[in-house]
Amino acid sequence: MHKAKLTWAGLVLFIAGCASFQAGAPAITPAMVKVAQTSGDSLEKLERGRRLLAMRCTTCHALEPVGNYTVQEWSDIVEDMADRSGLKNDEQQEIQAYLAAARKTL
């Protein structure tokens, strides 16, 4: 009985976790790829950026919805957070490219 309760709690947390991941790092759409290509960014770059955002930007806090900031604000935030996340310069640019494409196609 006790064990079953714990399992339910785990499941609820798991679902909540997926929902917040979706909100903070939306899936890459064809529209996002198209808008990224106009700035010379590829699908592969967006995929790396999304993965890095989900892995490296969630160790201290949850991801905020993409719509909370403008493209320029996201760029500044990622630059600001890059040191704390131990990001290399190209990794920072991949996250910026992904967030810019996601924000422009909201």
Query: Which residues in this chain contact ligand HEC in the complex, by CB under 6 A?
Result: 56-57, 59-61, 64, 77-78, 80-82, 84-85, 95
Q: For residues 35 and 49, which CB has a smaller minimum distance to ligand HEC in the complex?
A: 49
Instruction: Yes or no: say if 53 and 25 are a contact pair by the CB < 8 Å rule.
Output: yes
- Compute the distance between CA of residue 65 and CA of residue 52 in angstroms, rounded to an integer: 16
Instruction: Yes or no: say if 74 and 100 are a contact pair by the CB < 8 Å rule.
Output: yes
CB of 83 to ligand HEC, least distance (A): 9
Q: For residues 3 and 61, which CB has a smaller minimum distance to ligand HEC in the complex?
A: 61
